[in-house]
Amino acid sequence: MYSVHGTAALVQLEWPAELDEKDLLEGGHVAVSAAAATGVHTSYFAVLSVDRGSRTMTLYVKRSARGLVSAALLDPAGGAVLSISRPGPGILLPGSVHRPLFVAAGSGLASGLGLLGRLLRDPARQYERAALFFVGRSDECDTVRDVLAAGGLATSVELRLWDTGSQGRRVTAQDLLGVLATLHPDWIYVCGPASFAGMVRESAAATAGPAAAVVAECYDPPLEPARPE
Protein backbone atom coordinates (compact mmCIF):
# COMPACT_ATOMS: atom_id res chain seq x y z
CA MET A 1 0.00 0.00 0.00
CA TYR A 2 1.37 3.43 -0.86
CA SER A 3 0.41 7.06 -1.25
CA VAL A 4 1.91 9.43 -3.81
CA HIS A 5 3.32 12.81 -2.73
CA GLY A 6 4.72 14.73 -5.69
CA THR A 7 8.10 13.30 -6.69
CA ALA A 8 8.00 10.63 -3.97
CA ALA A 9 5.73 8.02 -2.44
CA LEU A 10 5.24 6.66 1.06
CA VAL A 11 5.11 2.86 0.98
CA GLN A 12 3.67 0.93 3.92
CA LEU A 13 5.08 -2.57 4.36
CA GLU A 14 4.77 -5.32 6.91
CA TRP A 15 7.51 -5.33 9.53
CA PRO A 16 9.72 -8.30 8.49
CA ALA A 17 10.02 -11.03 11.12
CA GLU A 18 13.80 -11.05 10.75
CA LEU A 19 14.01 -7.41 11.90
CA ASP A 20 13.61 -6.87 15.62
CA GLU A 21 12.51 -3.63 17.25
CA LYS A 22 16.10 -2.60 17.95
CA ASP A 23 16.92 -2.88 14.24
CA LEU A 24 14.13 -0.49 13.28
CA LEU A 25 14.83 1.87 16.16
CA GLU A 26 18.56 2.18 15.50
CA GLY A 27 18.50 1.89 11.72
CA GLY A 28 17.51 4.89 9.67
CA HIS A 29 17.20 2.74 6.58
CA VAL A 30 16.36 -0.77 5.46
CA ALA A 31 17.94 -2.66 2.57
CA VAL A 32 15.39 -3.90 0.05
CA SER A 33 16.29 -6.52 -2.55
CA ALA A 34 14.16 -7.12 -5.62
CA ALA A 35 14.38 -9.37 -8.67
CA ALA A 36 14.13 -7.79 -12.09
CA ALA A 37 14.92 -8.94 -15.62
CA THR A 38 18.52 -7.76 -15.15
CA GLY A 39 19.03 -9.71 -11.91
CA VAL A 40 18.72 -9.02 -8.19
CA HIS A 41 19.14 -5.39 -7.13
CA THR A 42 19.48 -3.91 -3.63
CA SER A 43 18.85 -0.34 -2.51
CA TYR A 44 18.43 1.48 0.80
CA PHE A 45 15.23 3.28 1.75
CA ALA A 46 14.58 5.69 4.58
CA VAL A 47 12.26 4.42 7.33
CA LEU A 48 10.02 7.40 8.02
CA SER A 49 7.88 5.84 10.74
CA VAL A 50 7.15 2.55 12.50
CA ASP A 51 3.82 1.31 13.89
CA ARG A 52 4.58 -1.25 16.58
CA GLY A 53 0.90 -2.16 17.03
CA SER A 54 0.27 -3.22 13.43
CA ARG A 55 3.94 -4.15 12.88
CA THR A 56 4.19 -1.98 9.78
CA MET A 57 6.76 0.54 8.65
CA THR A 58 6.54 3.42 6.20
CA LEU A 59 9.33 3.90 3.68
CA TYR A 60 10.21 7.02 1.67
CA VAL A 61 10.52 6.03 -1.99
CA LYS A 62 11.60 8.40 -4.73
CA ARG A 63 9.49 7.94 -7.84
CA SER A 64 12.29 7.43 -10.32
CA ALA A 65 12.19 5.35 -13.49
CA ARG A 66 15.84 4.53 -12.89
CA GLY A 67 15.16 2.98 -9.49
CA LEU A 68 14.64 -0.72 -10.18
CA VAL A 69 13.84 -1.55 -6.56
CA SER A 70 11.56 1.50 -6.34
CA ALA A 71 9.68 0.16 -9.36
CA ALA A 72 9.21 -3.19 -7.62
CA LEU A 73 7.85 -1.49 -4.49
CA LEU A 74 5.45 0.75 -6.42
CA ASP A 75 4.39 -1.65 -9.15
CA PRO A 76 4.37 -5.47 -8.85
CA ALA A 77 5.01 -5.65 -12.58
CA GLY A 78 8.32 -3.86 -12.02
CA GLY A 79 9.81 -6.86 -10.21
CA ALA A 80 9.43 -9.04 -7.11
CA VAL A 81 10.58 -7.85 -3.69
CA LEU A 82 12.69 -10.69 -2.29
CA SER A 83 13.84 -9.46 1.10
CA ILE A 84 13.91 -6.53 3.52
CA SER A 85 16.79 -6.35 5.96
CA ARG A 86 18.85 -3.94 8.01
CA PRO A 87 21.81 -2.54 6.04
CA GLY A 88 25.31 -2.51 7.42
CA PRO A 89 26.55 0.09 9.94
CA GLY A 90 25.69 3.60 8.84
CA ILE A 91 25.85 7.07 10.30
CA LEU A 92 25.85 7.04 14.10
CA LEU A 93 23.85 9.68 15.90
CA PRO A 94 25.75 11.20 18.83
CA GLY A 95 24.82 10.12 22.32
CA SER A 96 23.69 13.60 23.27
CA VAL A 97 22.37 16.08 20.73
CA HIS A 98 20.05 18.99 21.50
CA ARG A 99 19.63 20.88 18.20
CA PRO A 100 20.28 18.51 15.28
CA LEU A 101 20.11 19.95 11.77
CA PHE A 102 19.68 17.79 8.68
CA VAL A 103 20.78 19.48 5.44
CA ALA A 104 20.00 17.92 2.07
CA ALA A 105 20.10 18.81 -1.60
CA GLY A 106 18.07 16.98 -4.23
CA SER A 107 18.38 13.20 -3.89
CA GLY A 108 20.24 13.59 -0.60
CA LEU A 109 16.84 13.93 1.07
CA ALA A 110 16.43 10.16 1.40
CA SER A 111 19.45 9.77 3.67
CA GLY A 112 18.50 12.79 5.76
CA LEU A 113 14.94 11.55 6.26
CA GLY A 114 16.21 8.17 7.40
CA LEU A 115 18.34 9.68 10.14
CA LEU A 116 15.66 12.18 11.07
CA GLY A 117 13.05 9.46 11.45
CA ARG A 118 15.48 7.43 13.54
CA LEU A 119 16.03 10.35 15.89
CA LEU A 120 12.35 11.16 16.31
CA ARG A 121 11.22 7.60 17.06
CA ASP A 122 13.79 7.03 19.80
CA PRO A 123 12.00 7.86 23.08
CA ALA A 124 15.30 7.85 24.97
CA ARG A 125 16.65 10.86 23.08
CA GLN A 126 16.00 14.31 24.47
CA TYR A 127 16.40 17.29 22.15
CA GLU A 128 15.22 20.88 22.03
CA ARG A 129 14.53 21.11 18.31
CA ALA A 130 15.17 19.07 15.18
CA ALA A 131 15.42 20.98 11.90
CA LEU A 132 15.60 20.11 8.21
CA PHE A 133 17.02 22.45 5.57
CA PHE A 134 16.34 21.23 2.05
CA VAL A 135 17.56 22.69 -1.25
CA GLY A 136 15.75 21.65 -4.42
CA ARG A 137 13.33 22.39 -7.23
CA SER A 138 9.80 23.61 -6.56
CA ASP A 139 8.27 20.15 -7.03
CA GLU A 140 10.87 18.61 -4.72
CA CYS A 141 10.17 21.22 -2.03
CA ASP A 142 6.42 20.50 -2.31
CA THR A 143 7.21 16.81 -1.90
CA VAL A 144 9.17 17.43 1.30
CA ARG A 145 6.22 19.29 2.84
CA ASP A 146 3.78 16.55 1.87
CA VAL A 147 6.02 13.70 3.01
CA LEU A 148 6.66 15.20 6.44
CA ALA A 149 2.95 15.83 6.92
CA ALA A 150 1.88 12.38 5.71
CA GLY A 151 4.59 10.72 7.80
CA GLY A 152 3.44 12.50 10.95
CA LEU A 153 6.71 14.45 11.31
CA ALA A 154 5.56 17.96 10.39
CA THR A 155 4.95 19.07 13.97
CA SER A 156 8.25 17.61 15.21
CA VAL A 157 10.57 19.22 12.67
CA GLU A 158 11.37 22.85 11.91
CA LEU A 159 11.43 22.91 8.13
CA ARG A 160 13.44 25.40 6.06
CA LEU A 161 13.24 25.18 2.27
CA TRP A 162 15.35 26.75 -0.45
CA ASP A 163 13.26 26.57 -3.61
CA THR A 164 15.68 27.14 -6.47
CA GLY A 165 12.74 27.88 -8.77
CA SER A 166 11.21 30.72 -6.77
CA GLN A 167 14.58 31.98 -5.54
CA GLY A 168 15.91 32.02 -9.08
CA ARG A 169 19.38 30.87 -8.00
CA ARG A 170 21.28 28.24 -6.07
CA VAL A 171 21.90 28.54 -2.36
CA THR A 172 25.14 30.31 -1.42
CA ALA A 173 27.46 30.23 1.58
CA GLN A 174 25.94 33.49 2.75
CA ASP A 175 22.47 31.95 2.68
CA LEU A 176 23.71 29.00 4.72
CA LEU A 177 25.30 31.32 7.24
CA GLY A 178 21.91 32.93 7.80
CA VAL A 179 20.19 29.57 8.35
CA LEU A 180 22.85 28.32 10.76
CA ALA A 181 22.90 31.60 12.68
CA THR A 182 19.18 31.32 13.44
CA LEU A 183 19.03 27.58 14.19
CA HIS A 184 22.22 27.27 16.28
CA PRO A 185 22.68 23.52 15.64
CA ASP A 186 25.03 21.44 17.78
CA TRP A 187 25.14 18.56 15.26
CA ILE A 188 24.77 18.74 11.48
CA TYR A 189 24.22 15.99 8.94
CA VAL A 190 24.51 16.91 5.27
CA CYS A 191 23.94 14.82 2.15
CA GLY A 192 24.44 16.22 -1.34
CA PRO A 193 27.14 17.00 -3.92
CA ALA A 194 30.68 17.26 -2.51
CA SER A 195 30.83 21.00 -3.25
CA PHE A 196 27.57 21.56 -1.36
CA ALA A 197 28.73 19.51 1.64
CA GLY A 198 31.99 21.48 1.70
CA MET A 199 30.07 24.74 1.74
CA VAL A 200 28.00 23.52 4.69
CA ARG A 201 31.17 22.55 6.58
CA GLU A 202 32.74 25.95 6.01
CA SER A 203 29.58 27.80 7.00
CA ALA A 204 29.24 25.72 10.17
CA ALA A 205 32.83 26.44 11.13
CA ALA A 206 32.24 30.16 10.63
CA THR A 207 29.08 30.30 12.76
CA ALA A 208 29.34 27.54 15.36
CA GLY A 209 33.04 26.67 15.30
CA PRO A 210 34.02 23.28 16.73
CA ALA A 211 30.85 23.22 18.87
CA ALA A 212 28.82 21.81 15.94
CA ALA A 213 30.01 18.47 14.57
CA VAL A 214 29.36 18.03 10.85
CA VAL A 215 28.83 14.59 9.29
CA ALA A 216 28.69 14.51 5.50
CA GLU A 217 27.77 12.00 2.80
CA CYS A 218 28.52 13.08 -0.75
CA TYR A 219 27.49 12.10 -4.26
CA ASP A 220 31.05 12.46 -5.55
CA PRO A 221 32.44 9.92 -6.26
CA PRO A 222 29.28 8.01 -7.29
CA LEU A 223 27.47 6.09 -4.58
CA GLU A 224 27.88 2.33 -4.24
CA PRO A 225 25.46 0.04 -6.15
CA ALA A 226 23.41 -0.47 -2.97
CA ARG A 227 22.41 3.15 -2.40
CA PRO A 228 19.58 5.25 -1.09
CA GLU A 229 16.86 5.63 -3.74
pTM equals: 0.74
Q: Is the pLDDT of residue 22 over 70?
A: no
Would you state the pLDDT for residue 224? 40
Q: How confident is the model at residue 227 (pLDDT cuts 50, 70, 90)?
A: very low
- For residues 213 and 216, what is the distance between their CA atoms, to the nearest angstrom? 10
**89-98: long-range contacts, CB 8 A cutoff, minimum separation 24:** 90/27, 90/28, 90/29, 91/28, 91/115, 91/189, 91/215, 91/217, 93/118, 93/119, 93/125, 93/187, 94/187, 94/213, 97/125, 97/127, 97/186, 97/187, 98/126, 98/127, 98/128, 98/129, 98/186
Q: Which of 72, 61, 65, 66 is nearest to 30 (CA)?
A: 61
Cβ–Cβ < 8 Å for 97, 213: no
Phi, psi of 45 (to 5 degrees): -135, 140
- For residues 87 and 84, what is the distance between their CA atoms, to the nearest angstrom? 9
The CA-atom distances, in angstroms, between 68 and each of 65, 192, 225 are 7, 21, 12
DSSP string covering 187-218, please?
A: EEEEEE-HHHHHHHHHHHHHHTGGGSEEEEEE
Pick the most confident of 45-59, 68-82, 149-163: 149-163
- For residues 102 and 151, what is the distance between their CA atoms, to the nearest angstrom? 17
Would you state the pLDDT for residue 69? 79
- For residues 52 and 24, what is the distance between their CA atoms, to the nearest angstrom? 10
Which helix (DSSP H) or strand (DSSP E) does residue 171 occupy? Answer: none
Would you state the pLDDT for residue 133? 95
Phi, psi of 151 (to 5 degrees): -85, 5
- For residues 162 and 179, what is the distance between their CA atoms, to the nearest angstrom? 10
Give per-residue pLDDT as tens, 135-184: 999 988 998 998 888 878 888 899 999 999 999 999 999 999 999 989 98
Q: Is the pLDDT of residue 89 over 70?
A: no
